[in-house]
């Protein structure tokens, strides 16, 4: 029983999953998105047509390029444009980053290099409305 309690507390401390669960429960997460490109100032994201793009500020959760189950970084962001006719399955939005720290810039650089490699895989991401 003690091991289970410790795992529960570690789980919540590391990922702040109570907030994530609340966001999911109340419809504040836009999931199954795809990061289509990124640079130091912003990125573009493909959002499934059955989900609406966020208005205002939100958090962009980017998963690891190597393991789509592992979180790579979370960035403060705001939508700056939207293309509702991008494809029959996805809308595309342009995102501007807000208050990016130095360590987050390093993580963005890793992702930028990923897109330059031939045969790269899609990077999953989610948007959490604030």
Residue 44's pLDDT is 96
Is the pLDDT higher at 12 or at 97? 97
pLDDT at 54: 87
Residue 83: inside a domain, yes or no?
yes
Report the pLDDT value the prediction gives residue 50, as an integer from 0 to 100.
Answer: 92
Supply the Cα-derived Rg of the chain in whole angstroms.
16
47 within some domain: yes
How many CB atoms lie under 10 A from the CB of residue 39?
13
pLDDT digits (tens, 9 = 90+) for 11-46: 334 445 445 554 444 557 898 999 999 999 999 999
Residue 98: domain span:
28-129
| pLDDT given for residue 127 in this prediction | 94
The CATH number linked to 96 is 2.40.10.220
Q: How many domains does the chain have?
A: 1
Query: Does residue 94 lie in a domain region?
Result: yes
What span, in angstroms and rounded, lies between the C-alpha atoms of 38 and 77?
12
What is the C-alpha to C-alpha distance for residues 114 and 111, in angstroms, rounded to an integer? 5
pLDDT single digits (tens) 52-83? 888 889 999 999 998 999 999 999 999 999 99
Cα 126 versus chain centre, distance: 4
- Let me know if 50 is exposed, middle or buried by CB neighbors in 10 A (0-12, 13-18, 19+): exposed
pLDDT band at 47 (very low <50, low <70, confident <90, very high): very high
Is residue 45 situated within a structural domain?
yes
Q: What is the pLDDT of residue 119?
A: 81
CB distance 31 to 25 below 8 Å: no
């Amino acid at each position: 029983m003690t091991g289970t309690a410790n795992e529960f507390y570690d789980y919540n401390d590391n990922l702040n999953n109570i907030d994530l669960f609340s966001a999911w429960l109340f419809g504040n997460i836009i999931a199954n998105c795809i990061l289509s490109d990124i640079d130091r100032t912003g990125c573009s994201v493909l959002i499934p047509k059955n989900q609406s793009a966020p208005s205002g500020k939100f958090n962009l959760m980017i998963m690891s390029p190597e393991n789509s189950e592992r979180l790579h970084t979370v960035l403060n962001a705001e939508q700056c444009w939207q293309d509702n006719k991008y494809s029959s399955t996805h809308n595309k939005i342009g995102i501007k980053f807000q208050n990016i720290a130095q360590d987050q810039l390093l993580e963005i650089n890793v992702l930028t290099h990923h897109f330059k490699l031939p045969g790269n895989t899609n990077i999953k991401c989610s948007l959490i409305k604030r």
